[in-house]
Amino acid sequence: MVFERDVEHIAGLADIGIVKEELDEFTIQFNRILDYFDILDTVEGDCVYEQDRYNVLREDVISPSLSQEDALKNAGETEDGFFKAPRVM
């Protein structure tokens, strides 16, 4: 069972942006969906990954990539050839 305060907390963690009027609807839906997920409690054991898995690694070779100009083309704001982001501090 989750409550409105839980949904508000998760929305904050996920930086999802939520308004008070939506909390009620999301909370009801989350409880219905999470109730359905309870069926996973009946699954026995843990996931044992198969032994034949392996990492796919490659040599660190420089290959062609986007130019700085192309990479910045879709940016909201740029400054001196860099992405401009909201302030963190």
Which parts of this chain interact with other proteins (CB under 8 A)? 2, 7, 10-11, 13-19, 26, 29-30, 32-34, 36-37, 39-48, 56, 58, 66, 70-71, 73-77, 83-88
3-state secondary structure of 4: helix
How many other CB atoms sit within 10 Å of the CB of residue 15? 6
User: Taking the complex as a whole, how short is the minimal distance between the CB of residue 87 and other proteins, in angstroms?
Assistant: 6
User: Taking the complex as a whole, how short is the minimal distance between the CB of residue 85 and other proteins, in angstroms?
Assistant: 5
- Opening angle at CA 88, ends 82 and 89, nearest 5: 125
User: Taking the complex as a whole, how short is the minimal distance between the CB of residue 47 and other proteins, in angstroms?
Assistant: 4
3-state secondary structure of 11: helix
